[in-house]
Amino acid sequence: MLASQDGDAAAHRVLLERLSRHLRAYYKGKLARIGRGATEAEDLVQEAVLAIHIQRHTYDPAEPLTPWVHAIARYKLIDFLRRNRASVTDVPIDEAGDVIANDDHLSAESSFDLRRLLKHLPEKMQCAIEAVKLDGLSVAEAAQRCRISESGVKVNIHRGLKALAALIAQRTQT
Amino acid sequence: MKTDELISALSAGVEPVNRRQVNRSVGIALVVGMAIAIGVAFLALGVRTDLTTPRTLIFLLLKIVFAFGTTGAAAVYLARLARPGGERRVSPGLAALPFVAILLLAGVSLGQAPSSHWDGMVMGDQWLECLISIPIIAVVPFAVVIWAVRQAAPTNLVRTGAFSGLVAGGMSATAYALHCTDDSLPFVALWYGGTIVLCTLAGALLGPRLLRW
């Protein structure tokens, strides 16, 4: 987590992969109890992974990581249930330990498509995210392609990901 | 979309983040909000002109210590609440300490005065102005505080909203103290304390709407 806060891409990837397995087990367990399926669990996993990425600056290194992840996971779960008109009282009381449970099932897909969702964003955000996140260009190259400054690319990626998170939240409303 | 694809996309071109950003935003909001509160109080109401005797100076200082104390204590917790899971590390007890202190002082001061004076000590001359001014002055600082908290990710929105209101109410009361000429402890306890609590309740109600992410 500390390395990914410092901008280490490889560490960030390993972190998100590991956390996504924990999150999958967590959400499957919770959703199974209220009769929801694996696709919805995967939607939530991706919402939470996106939130962890966007909010990685809010993790305080002096604190343990698990409660931070658990708080995000639970917040997204309650938000999902509220959007879907289920009662918050349906959420079983759970402990921070629940989020460390593991699950290796990787084949599930969520119900949304990143490239298609991107089309709903403003052009600059779309271009910046596509260039850096999907096509693997550096920030400088992306700045050239999108004809904005380098700091503009960074700002557009950050805002664009937040906008994407909001879009996904709308989409998963059933 | 598979989760792996999302993770690959997110891990491309990762920027380092500033771990102090949350505390910094709250700090900036504190300074800006305080400046706005004092500015509004100064322009709309003006500073009291009777600051010539030690008694009035002591009372001004006391009101500021009380009002700013609530803000300070609440701001420390607000910086924690702004982070996911931060509500675990918040005990409302410390935030209530300034209120307990001023209530005790008010009690002592009432106890020493004859009961015929109580009415004047509690109601003061301008309780209505105090009751109206503090919440109004708090509006813009509250917006600034909410902006700062929105830079982070609170997971307990009611409590975070309440503390945002508490911080804004305290800042507003600090600014209003520069104008207010009612110098009695029971007055400060009831009308300052009461309006700050009012701001806190308003914050708790608005929190879930303003702070969602």
Give the per-residue pLDDT at A163.
86
Where do the domains of chain A lie, and which CATH numbers do they carry? 2-100 (1.10.1740), 114-171 (1.10.10.10)
Residue at B53 is within a domain: no
Residue B119 sits at the chain A interface (C-beta within 8 Å): no
Facing A75 at nearest CB: one of B6, B15, B84: B84
Distance CA B65, CA B108 (A): 18
Residue at B51 is within a domain: no
Contact B53, B181 (CB under 8 A): no
Distance CA B213, CA A58 (A): 13
Burial class (CB in 10 A: 0-12, 13-18, 19+), B113: middle
Q: Please, which pLDDT band fits residue A86 given cuts at 50, 70 and 90?
A: low
Distance CA B40, CA B141 (A): 10
Residue A22 sits at the chain B interface (C-beta within 8 Å): no
Residue B209 sits at the chain A interface (C-beta within 8 Å): no
Q: Please, which pLDDT band fits residue A173 given cuts at 50, 70 and 90?
A: low
Q: Print the domain residue range for B37.
A: 21-46+63-210
Q: Is the confidence at residue A141, as pLDDT, over 60?
A: yes
Q: Which residues of chain B have pLDDT under 50?
A: none
Average pLDDT value for chain A: 81
Residue B22 sits at the chain A interface (C-beta within 8 Å): yes
For A89-108, the pLDDT digits (tens) are 555 666 666 666 655 554 56
Q: Which residue of B has its CA nearest to A139?
A: B13
Contact A153, A139 (CB under 8 A): yes
ipTM of this complex prediction, to 2 decimal places: 0.83
Q: Is the confidence at residue A87, as pLDDT, over 60?
A: no
Q: Please count the structural domains in chain B.
A: 1
For B103-124, the pLDDT digits (tens) are 999 888 888 888 777 777 778 7
Residue at B7 is within a domain: no
Give the per-residue pLDDT at B137.
92
| Chain B residues closer than 8 Å to A134 by CB | 9, 12
| Chain B residues closer than 8 Å to A161 by CB | 10
